[in-house]
Amino acid sequence: MVVSGTRDRAAAATPPAPGRKAVYRSTVGAKGVMAVSGLLLLLFLVAHMAGNLKIFFGAESFDHYAHWLRDIGAPVLPHTWYLWIQRFVLTAALVGHAWAATVLALRAKRARPVRYAHRPKVQGSYAARTMRWGGVIILLFLVWHLLDLTVGTVNPVGNPATPYANVVAGFAPSRWPVTLFYALAVVAIGFHVRHGLFSALRTLGQRTAKGEQRARVAALGFAIILCAGFLSVPFAVLVGLVG
């Protein structure tokens, strides 16, 4: 991001020519959509990871938690309404996030019609590539994950009323390829979160080498905690700590 960061700063300092105003405004709009949707998705990830840790308190506690999720907002909201509102908001955030990422990537490409002869080995190009592939892996994972632990069609138990049993059966040692896919997706999410959070913190924080370093460390620390929390569940089932 060193290259585009410098460009961003230059763009912020110099007002665009009248003909470029619309593009400038919609670029700012796409970045806003990226940030707001990213924050919503991140909030969900943190809540989901923390909720998953309930599994270490046993089947009753975990199943009770899953049933409680369906009654959030009661008695004002009828059964499962909160969950459906959350699903709607998350889907909109996901679509918005992917749309903004595509718009910004295409615009950046158009702004640099001649490719670099030697692509600089800076974090920017590396992160951009991992973000793209990461995004695809995460989307594929989501489809599998929903079929596995929400709908239950690809889960050996697949009973929505018994999420603890679904998780234990889903990560059984014999299903190690599935667990490996989960691990790959969680690591992809870790890279994604680290890069997104770093960009956001750098934009909000001090534009100094020290400020940038602090943003880098905070984003990395946060991503590691998130990944470790998510991975702890399949790992615990795999080694028989949960079962």
Residues engaged in binding ligand HEM (CB under 6 A)? 48, 52, 66, 69, 83, 87, 138, 142, 145-146, 149-150, 163, 167, 182, 186, 189, 230, 233-234
The span from the CA of 100 to the CA of 31, in Å, is: 7
CB of 142 to ligand HEM, least distance (A): 6
The span from the CA of 234 to the CA of 181, in Å, is: 11
54 vs 202 by CB, closer to ligand HEM: 54
Residue nearest to ligand HEM (CB): 66
The span from the CA of 196 to the CA of 194, in Å, is: 6
CB atoms within 10 A of CB 189: 22
Torsion sign (Cα): 96, 33, 52, 195: positive
CB of 198 to ligand HEM, least distance (A): 19
What would you report as the CA-atom Rg of the chain, rounded to the nearest whole angstrom? 21
124 vs 229 by CB, closer to ligand HEM: 229
3-state helix, strand, coil in the chain (%, to 5): 80, 0, 20
108 vs 146 by CB, closer to ligand HEM: 146
87 φψ region: left (φ > 0), alpha (ψ -120 to 50), beta (else): alpha
85 vs 111 by CB, closer to ligand HEM: 85
100 vs 233 by CB, closer to ligand HEM: 233
CB of 94 to ligand HEM, least distance (A): 9
CB of 128 to ligand HEM, least distance (A): 20
CB of 233 to ligand HEM, least distance (A): 4
2 vs 151 by CB, closer to ligand HEM: 151
**Burial grade of 18 (CB within 10 A; 0-12, 13-18, 19 or more):** exposed
Query: How far does Cα 124 stand from its chain's mean position?
Result: 19
CB of 154 to ligand HEM, least distance (A): 13
